[in-house]
Amino acid sequence: MNKVFDKFKPAFEAIAANKYVSAVRDGFIACMPIIIFSSIFMMIAYVPNAWGFYWPENVTNTLLVAYNYSMGLLALFVAGTTAKNLTDSKNLDLPKTNQINPVAVIIAAEISFIILSIVPLKTGVDLTYLGTQGLICAYIVGLIVPNIYYVCIKNNITVKLPPQVPGNIAQAFKDLIPLGVSITVFWAFGFLFKAATGTVLPRWIINVLSPVFQASDTYVGLCIIAGAMAFFWFCGVQGPSIVSPAVTPIMIANTAANLVQYQAGAHVSHVFAQNAMDYVMNFGGTGSTFIIAYVLVIAAKSAQLKAVGKAAIVPASFSVNEPVLFGLPIIMNPIFFVPFLITPMVNISLFKFFVTTLGMNGMMYYLPWTVPAPIGIIAATGFAPLSFVFVAAILVLDVLIFLPFFHQYDKQLVEEERVKAQELAANGGVALAGNSEVPAANINVEAPTMTEATESTTDDKQVSTAQGEEYFKNNEVDVLVLCAGGGTSGILANALNKLSKERGLKLSATARAYGQDMDLIQNMDMVILAPQMESMKGNLQKITDKYEVKLVTTTGRQYIELTNNGDMALDFVESNL
């Protein structure tokens, strides 16, 4: 199986690393604070309804102002952030002395999007398509405008001023032609398109893609989406990074539609909303792994699996499941292929049954993905009574699906540990490792995966550690850790910062989701890339090379060990710097 998956992996990585797919994904990530912020006001306005309390109308309207002018303009902001992210990629192919101005691109993209999306009224304008319904159009604009700028800047199609003119004034004239071309192109296209179709582009896109929107809410469509994410992850490529850019506009539009239904007192009917992916399909992380760490701690007989469970149980509770994926491991482990693939499908199918057949509300609020999934499901559905039953049902179902495969793997590891213990006894307490001998006292049989790589008794290692600490006491070092969602990278950065503070080091670490605040890289000494984002190594290497920053990659189990051991993480930074 692994040989087959290895053949697919390069193609999947190429899709995930494609600069246009990355720009769409990263452009949306940049706008996540808007969605979370606006949802807070929406929840304050409507969650009390679940307990029979209703705000006065003027209070509700006041609360909705913050929502309407943040979430209500989401597509406008996404057009700008998508254009900015693609511009950053385009700039890597241009000389440092002749770069595209990202601010000018953002402005041009947003103006162009407004021209395409505004619907004139007799007494004003309709802003409907500047919000969630205009996301696909926003992506199109955000991907075209940087290409117009790229052609102009690369071929020096700009207004050139004498060298005596101040730089800021010269830059404004340099941006004039690409800005004018971008806006003119979309103005002309918008005029001709409306004359031909009688409507604006975002509305036309929604109408054309409505069958796709409807198909995504069917049992088959939901299972395909859930299964695809798990399949890509199993092959070693971060699944949501491939699937999310394609389906995010559908999820966001359905979330907004659900909220409208709830406000009108109707049944909240759309299943495939934003948090349905975060909390149901990815119940505890891709592959619906929420229950695995708990099963490992409670039921595992293998010392290795118990150690993995103890290390993973807290992050797993907050949907950070890389310790399980890499520590067990699940990725590329054929024993877990079937449950890893079908559990998300079962969960989302049951959720659809609860919504469409039993009448439970779908998800109408957006909460951060790190909220524990059982809590997130209940809160995002507006504390629907049936949501408590649903959470209990999938907890039981997920255990039943994973348990047979887990028991088989547990038996296998128990036998391996027994054989290893017998070999130790037969060798008089000395374990053979290649041509070297390791005293048995230095081998922790109970938890090999979490301790073998972190324990060292040699004098050379102690000297190396001391020299590393001395270096960090005399030199300021800034480290950026990048992972898919900012979860495990945050754990690793915190481990480094804690150790640095305790020992008086000048080492500082910070963490981000890949695609978030990438401008930070230019101020760093080192970037550590988590293994789940290995597909982005090529793109990231161009950025780090541009700023002469050290890029370091990690393997799965090594990365998890670094998050659990500050000393090992410090040695890792020192040895790679």
pLDDT along the chain (577 residues), means of 10: 75 85 90 88 86 88 90 94 94 88 95 93 86 92 96 87 69 87 96 94 92 91 94 85 88 90 90 92 92 92 90 89 88 90 96 96 90 94 94 96 93 89 72 43 38 42 58 88 87 90 90 85 92 87 91 88 86 88
Kindly tell me the burial class for residue 274, based on how many C-beta atoms sit within 10 Å of its own C-beta (0-12, 13-18, 19 or more).
buried
Report H helices in 427-453: 448-451
pLDDT score for 193: 95
Active site residues per annotation: 483
Q: Are 512 and 542 in contact (CB under 8 A)?
A: no
Structural tokens at position 72: 């209500």
Distance CA(97)–CA(91), nearest Å, equals 10
pTM confidence score: 0.82
Using DSSP's 3-state secondary structure scheme, residue 363 falls into: coil
Three-state SS string over 496-521 comes to: HHHHHHHHCCCEEEEEEECCCCHHHH
What is the gyration radius of the CA atoms in the chain, in angstroms?
26
pLDDT score for 566: 83
The phi, psi pair for 483, rounded to 5°, reads -135, -165
Distance CA(366)–CA(36), nearest Å, equals 6
Closest CA relative to residue 224, chosen from 204, 247, 241: 247
Report H helices in 50-134: 57-68, 74-91, 102-117
Distance CA(474)–CA(181), nearest Å, equals 52
Left, alpha or beta for 162 (phi > 0: left; psi -120 to 50: alpha)? beta
DSSP string across 405-428: HHHHHHHHHHHHHHHHHHHHHHTT
Q: Are 432 and 327 in contact (CB under 8 A)?
A: no
Distance CA(254)–CA(262), nearest Å, equals 12
pLDDT score for 149: 95
Report H helices in 235-318: 239-263, 274-275, 292-299, 303-317
Distance CA(577)–CA(558), nearest Å, equals 17
Return the DSSP state at 484: S
Q: Are 218 and 101 in contact (CB under 8 A)?
A: no
Using DSSP's 3-state secondary structure scheme, residue 540 falls into: helix
pLDDT score for 467: 60
Place of tokens 């979430």: 71
Distance CA(110)–CA(152), nearest Å, equals 19
